[in-house]
Structure 1
Amino acid sequence: MTADVAHELRTPLTTLGSHLEAMIEKVWEPTTERLKSCHEEILRLGKIVMDLESLERVESNNLKLNKAPIDLMELTNSVCVTFEGELSNKNLELEINGTASIVSIDKDRFSGVISNLLSNAVKYTPDGGQIRVLIQDSPDESIFVIEDNGVGIPEEELPFIFERFYRADKSRNRKTGGAGIGLAIVKSVVTAHGGSITANNCTQGGCVIEIRLPKNII
């Protein structure tokens, strides 16, 4: 893991260092655009550090889940509201269907799961595309499904996308700032709840991720 962390931190640090050095030595003028670029790299570093801290907490044996009966549909709707601006910027349609489904989960941590998956869908769905979320209920489990009509994931990459630091399309993730940590956190939180998560490509294009949460685990 140490080598992976070093690799993820090296790129933004190198970019930040070279930009600042060029401005200090007056090779570049400290324009607003260049200062903004430095600020973005600092934010990226901060995001990587926070994700690493979250992953460490989630994967530790001492993880404490503050579970309570939560309506998965209601929680999903509340998280999706926070993405209205990003959806509007890309002219994306978000469709939420299904039914109420009460399950015992840690509200804050599972909000993070939904937010992470929705953020990925927004990033990789083309402008004017569609994202669909479905909540299903059964006596034994609650099911959360999110589907987009983006580029999908190469079939040979699907078994590995939930591994830490794994990125199915490395050039695409560099562009969007991903470090390959988010889906590892998602899987760890789902597993801590006794659930399962799978990812598949849609026949018409895009990706579908399904989470199943058992109701018999308190």
Structure 2
Amino acid sequence: MARALNRIVTRVWLLAGMMTFITIAMSVAVYYGATVLHLHQIGDSMPPKARAEFERLVRSGQTDSDRFFDLHEQYSGSVMLPSDWLFLAVIGIVSTSVGGGIAYVFARRISAPISAVSLAASQVAEGERGVRVEAVGLAGETAELVDSFNRMAADLEAYERERKILTAGIAHELRTPLTILKGRLHGLTDGFIDPSTDEPERLLRQVEQLSRIVEDLRTLAHADAHVLELDLRVVDLARVVQFAIVDLRPEAEAAGLTIGEACQPARVRADPVRMRQVVMNLISNAIRHGADGNAVEISVAVEGAAAVLRVADEGRGFEEGDERRLFMPFWRAARSQVAVRSGSGLGLALTAKLVEAHGGRIVAANRSDRSGACFLVYLPLCD
């Protein structure tokens, strides 16, 4: 937007320069025309002999000679007739009108969209995030300015929406373990719950859940601010995946799922702990959303200069258009079937940020046969 404004300012200066040039050019032309007319009228008022001498002086360029000024003074007393003044007045009016008209047209073309952007910016500042400026009939820098403003307003609207979702999600995720802790601690205090040997373990699980949520939020905030510290090393992505599968296979079997694995060595530069977190989150997500009795397919392959991790389930997939929303914190699809098994709501958002922090990218898509969702992680290979 700043570049567009700078170019608009430059265009205004060019317009001012052009109008100055036009005004000067027309003034010179009018002055020249008036001078020629004036000399012609002086010649007409002279007797033939004096006229011949006067024209000879003009043709020879001796308009600064004493004789020229003598003839000019002698015969120019009343040569400016009312028609001459009318001619000069018409020329002045026409030149002013033409210059002013051109300036007005250009000024309106420049000022109208700027005024519209200014008004829209005031509305956005007052909280109307859905305001946009029409770009119909615009071109060049003004069109770029309007487009930049609209994109900025859309980003602000999306940020506001994500902030509300995040705030509501945090409140929801923290409320559940806090409610359980509060209720059971009150029960212990009032004597309604026996301080059995497994009660401290139950309370500890809720504290650990709270701790995980807070740590995930902290990691997400650091990744968003690009201050997340990574202990980068050369690791084999296939080995990271295989260890994660060993840890999560019991959870998959308990959910009635099998894990299919096809991993080839792929050396990447990554933080082993964070990369394990990425893999665990994706596999856990596939287990949560996979239909009972079907498989979760996991593979690691090398494609060009990238290592590609693929995690696919055989669940219901997601609605078209939800590909980007999947990575928003605490976002959940409208279909209740998708969230049959609960999660914190931060897993995919955190996964995407961790992948980006490693210089990679993550893509979500439904499988070609619509039999589930597929997540692809692309990481640069080590040289």
TM-score by length of 1: 0.82
Alignment partner of 2:372 out of 184, 206, 209: 206
1-side partners of 2:289 and 2:316: how far apart? 7
Deviation at 1:21, TM superposition (A): 4.3
Partner residue of 1:146 out of 291, 304, 311: 311
The answer for the alignment partner of 1:122 in structure 2 is 287
Q: Structure 2 counterpart of 1:81, which letter?
A: V
Structure 1 residues 175, 10: closer, same or farther in 2, change over 3 A?
farther
User: What's the RMSD between the two structures over aligned residues?
Assistant: 3.1
Q: What residue number does 1:179 align with?
A: 344
Residue type at the aligned position of 1:104: R
SS at match of 1:168: coil
Amino acid at match of 1:132: E
Offset of 1:126 from its aligned partner?
Answer: 2.8
User: Hey, which of these two has a bigger chunk of strand by percent?
Assistant: 1
Kindly provide the CA deviation profile for residues 74-126 of structure 1, in whole angstroms up to 9, marking residues without a partner as x.
22112211112212323321111142212222221111100111111112223
- Structure 2 CA distance for partners of 1:49 and 1:64, relative to 1, 3 Å: closer
Which of 319, 326, 332 does residue 161 from structure 1 map onto? Answer: 326
Q: Which amino acid aligns with 1:187?
A: A
* Cα separation, 2, equivalents of 1:22 and 1:171: 33
Q: Which is higher, the Rg of structure 1 or of structure 2?
A: 2
Distance 1:108 1:42, change over 3 A: closer
- Counterpart-to-counterpart distance in 2, 1:114 and 1:139: 21
Q: Give the fraction of aligned pairs with identical amino acids, expressed as a percent.
A: 28
Moved more, 165-174 or 179-188: 165-174
Amino acid at match of 2:375: I
Distance 1:41 1:173, change over 3 A: farther
Structure 2 residue 229 is the aligned partner of structure 1 residue 64: yes
Deviation at 1:69, TM superposition (A): 2.1
Match of 2:220? 55
Count of residues in Structure 1 that have an aligned counterpart in Structure 2:
216
**Structure 1 residues 175 and 204: alpha-carbon distance in aligned structure 2, compared to 1, 3 A threshold:** closer
Match of 1:136 among 301, 307, 312: 301
Partner of 2:11: none
**Which one has more relative contact order, counting CA pairs under 8 Å at least 6 apart?**
1
Q: 1:126 to 1:182 in 2, by over 3 A?
A: same
When residues 112 and 197 of structure 1 are mapped into structure 2, their CA distance, relative to the original with a 3 A threshold, is same
Match of 1:105 in 2: 270
**Residue type matched to 1:69 in 2?**
V
In 2 relative to 1, CA 55–65 (structure 1 residues): closer, same or farther, beyond 3 Å? same
TM-score where L is the length of structure 2: 0.49
Query: What is the CA distance between 1:130 and its match in structure 2?
Result: 0.1
1:78 aligned residue: 243
Cα separation, 2, equivalents of 1:31 and 1:169: 41
